[in-house]
Amino acid sequence: MHDDRTLIEARLKRVLDERIRPAVYPESVPLDVAVWTAPGEPVPVEEGLAAHPEPTKVGAAWGAPWATSWFRVTGTVPTDWAGKSVEAVLDLGFDENMPGFQCEGLVYRPDGTPVKGLNPRNQWVRIAAPATGGEDVHLHIEAASNPVILDYHPFLPTQLGDKETAGSEPQYKLARMDLAVFDETVWQLVIDLEVLGELMVELPEDSGRRYAVVRAVGRALDAVDLQDVNGSAAAARAELEGVLATPAEPSAHRISAVGHAHIDSAWLWPLRETVRKVARTTSNMTALIEDEPDFVFAMSQAQQWAWVKEHRPEVWAKVKKAVADGRFVPAGGMWVESDTNMPGSEAMARQFVHGKRFFLDEFGVENDEAWLPDTFGFAAGLPQIIKAAGSKWLLTQKISWSQTNRFPHHTFNWEGIDGTRIFTHFPPVDTYNCSMKGSEIAHAAKNFKDKGVARHSLAPTGWGDGGGGTTREMIAKAGRLRDLEGSATVEWETPAAFFEKAEAEYPNAPVWVGELYLELHRATLTSQAGTKQGNRRSEHLLREAELWAATAAVRSAEFAYPYEELDRIWKTVLLHQFHDILPGSSIAWVHREARATYAAVADELNGIIEAAQRALAGDGGTGTLVFNSTPHTRDGVPAGGARPAAIDGQSAIASRADGGYVLDNGLLRVEIDARGLVVSAYDIVADREAVAPGQAANLPQIHADFPNMWDAWDVDEFYRNTVTDLTEADAVEPVEGEGGASVRVVRSFGDSRLTQVLSLAPGSTRLDIDTEVDWHETEKFLKLAFPLDIHAERYASETQFGHFYRATHTNTSWEAAKFEACNHRFVHMEEPGWGVALVNDSTYGHDVTRTVRASDAGTTTTVRASLLRAPRFPDPETDQGVHRFRHALVPGAGIGDAVREGYRINLPERRITGGADVAPLVTVDNDAVVVTAVKLADDGSGDVVVRFHESRGGRARATLAAGFPVGSVDVTDLLERPLADATAPERSGDGVALTLRPFELVTLRLTRA
């Protein structure tokens, strides 16, 4: 037989496009349309419904960027349509290739009842099935004219990303506003042909099954009367029944389809628009659940559920019912799908605390899985946080985007820094927007790396990013793929059902140890410095607020612990850790609002801190109390306590013979040359130089930075090929002032200006570097380099509840790909017995490289802190303006010193006049055990909750002593619930004896006697 596959494939495409799909709606009549445009931000539903719209028509332009238009559509079902299914087809001017990235609508009845959302792949609204004829139709559409930011030519700078710069030009034209007859038989024929057409091109060319499908499709097309598609559709479907009924092979890969709409909590739209995106999507999904008995939809991000509850109570009622029926599933147990590289220890914990508690309080649902399909890599501290929250599984997909190395597993156990293992799955379908295409299903089966030992994978199914969710077409395709020869099998299941099956069939899954590094989007560690600084400072202010408020509440009956305020502020900070906000990859509007939000958060938290400290200090006395919020004793002030500080020693400044200055405090001697560069940082006690010979530290360097794509997200390795050292100084001069010896350095470059103050405080072993940059560059990358005379094949980088090691070499492609990486408060390099730390107050990105010097064969290990970038997409004004950073170089630092100095630079001392010292609420007698939180229990009981971990990577024995009478002591999970299998802590009066394994995280709940 002749091979006519391509002939039939081409025939199928044209007949579907030009004859069969148009016949789904064989008859239509226009609706009457009127429109009212809200004058500013979106208005309440009742106001939109009550507005007086003006007549408009199909073809009319509408929608300034970010505006809201309320369309009223009215009409009457023709009497001769009685007995037929009737739908409204409402096309706002959609581009079907851009679901989630353009205009959208939510349809209401006149009484305000939401019907369903409208988006490019979901333009229908059911009117009657069947119709009686003569029904009046009256619908309202709340339509958002969100502009297209990521267009067909992506990454072009645009002013559309902020309503303040976007202008008023209409973005769309109404394309269709009709009542139409819906021919379900033709629609089902479309699905039949799509499923088989997509399947046959994926089958092996020499397989009998492929030819059986080809022949059946050919017969079906022969049966279609192109002049009467509606009359012949049933006959065409009959020709396909045989090939659609042939069951799958017993060994076929099995896919758990989970209804899904990955909705970015902000990205190419502002937060307020996400509130409406969620309402549209949940309206669609609850409607689908009513129509489709097998369909299951999962939605993560408790924040988005909370938005529906707060802003769309009418939608919330439908959601609650669907949850009760087990069909609409809360997933993930986090407040948002956050970045996991940059959030600090407590913040990462609170993502789970607030997320899981919301689902427990609202629905009684306990999430066992973390659900993070789109997050840009995963920090090595995350597994024990997941476990400590009471969860045990993780799903993500983004690692498949890595550019250099392909991850070797799809299902595996991920081991974190403390040894905790979490059962983890990467869907081999390689998308979190699966649409049930044959190519997607075939790819999942072929791509699955664990064949032979496992056979289950998960497919998040539905339009995402900007929302939309699953469509009736996807559900219909999945029904045909449930048991179909040549295909993987597809079954709608909850995430928990999938994980239970996957874990049961793969009890000895392979282990991956350490971070899940994404070999892409590395620049998200630096873009939008203001957002990152706001996050870091908010995290530490929250630590202070909880610590001092808890201390004051326990010590004084008159001080009320601010439960509601802290709960609200935590949720605000957690929201802004979403994986397109904190990473700096959202539009200008998002980051402008974020900066304002962080300023308001800081004001409120500073008020709470001041009130608590004032209550503790008392009104009497004239002495100055220094409040120490760090977990280590500081200048004689105990951790979590207050008393006058005791600083020994002094620091001096002298001129260098060949220009510049020398700072010396008897512990550290720093030489700053005439260029304002550090040419020596000498550890006097250890008799050891930190700066590599012949090189200079604190060296600003600037690179051209124009990645191949994804401007705000990516920095490509070739950026290193060109570098300019900023060695010219406008001024290098001593600074008068308290607190030690200082030198100011001023530099001009391009259109920007950099000012640094280098300080050496009495009794300190660190060089403090305060940097201010008035930044007006574009497509540039600014770094601060420290070439160190240290031989280190690896270095430590702080992450949540500990640190982990990365290589300084590039032996393999895996190490070479980590040319830009994340740290929290410190990086640390060490030879046996002597090391150096670089600590920071608000930066995350860095790189570490090593070279061997020709002069003495010694090794130079260079660490560079990433300060600023200047991408032009999606925010063309990224980071323009003034920024301030603090770093400190700590020669002679062990890992414990790095931990201590990292906290110190992030938690400045606070001074208040008071009459009496403040004893700590809790103390720990081993500096290796770091307390990350002291607070009152969230349930309002007044119990004191203390969270701590071993911070140095070794075993630790310690005693935690309470500064108040203690009743019972429980070891709890992150949600402050006693752990049933925990060993009862060893008590001694009001103290608890502890033995911790490396990096072990512990939460104790202490009742007050």
Q: Which residues are catalytic?
A: 374
Q: Can you tell me the distance from the alpha carbon of 567 to that of 569, in angstroms, rounded to the nearest whole number? A: 6
Q: Is the dihedral of CA 92, 95, 100, 102 positive or negative?
A: negative
From the number of C-beta atoms within 10 Å of its C-beta (0-12, 13-18, 19+), residue 426 rates as buried
CB 677 within 8 A of CB 727: yes
C-alpha distances in angstroms, 793 versus 833, 862, 937?
A: 15, 12, 44
Token code pair at residue 109 = 């009845």
Contacts of 250 (CB under 8 A, 6+ apart): none
C-alpha distances in angstroms, 334 versus 56, 102, 204, 472?
A: 44, 27, 43, 29
From the number of C-beta atoms within 10 Å of its C-beta (0-12, 13-18, 19+), residue 911 rates as middle
Neighbours of 57 (CB within 10 A): 12
Nearest to 653 by CA among 671, 626, 628, 679: 671
CB 742 within 8 A of CB 764: no
Token code pair at residue 985 = 């802590």
Token code pair at residue 178 = 């009709």
Q: Can you tell me the distance from the alpha carbon of 84 to that of 132, in angstroms, rounded to the nearest whole number? A: 8
What does residue 570 show for φ and ψ, rounded to 5 degrees?
Answer: -55, -45
Q: Can you tell me the distance from the alpha carbon of 459 to that of 395, in angstroms, rounded to the nearest whole number? A: 11
CB 475 within 8 A of CB 487: no
Neighbours of 120 (CB within 10 A): 22
Token code pair at residue 266 = 């902000």
How many residues would you count in the chain?
1009
Q: Can you tell me the distance from the alpha carbon of 835 to that of 152, in angstroms, rounded to the nearest whole number? A: 51
The angle, 0 to 180 degrees and rounded to 10, between the axes of the packed helices 302-311 and 271-291 is: 90
CB 547 within 8 A of CB 539: no
83: alpha, beta or left? (left if phi > 0; alpha if psi -120 to 50): left
Please give the angle made by the CA atoms of 414, 418 and 422, to the nearest 5 degrees.
Answer: 25
CB 893 within 8 A of CB 901: yes
Contacts of 679 (CB under 8 A, 6+ apart): 660, 671, 672, 673, 691, 695, 696, 697
Kind of pairing, strands 172-173 and 61-62? antiparallel
CB 983 within 8 A of CB 992: no
**900: Cα within 13 Å, side-chain hemisphere:** 18
Cis peptide before 170 (omega within 30 of 0): no
Looking at residue 61, what DSSP letter applies? E
Q: Can you tell me the distance from the alpha carbon of 626 to that of 629, in angstroms, rounded to the nearest whole number? A: 10
**37: Cα within 13 Å, side-chain hemisphere:** 13
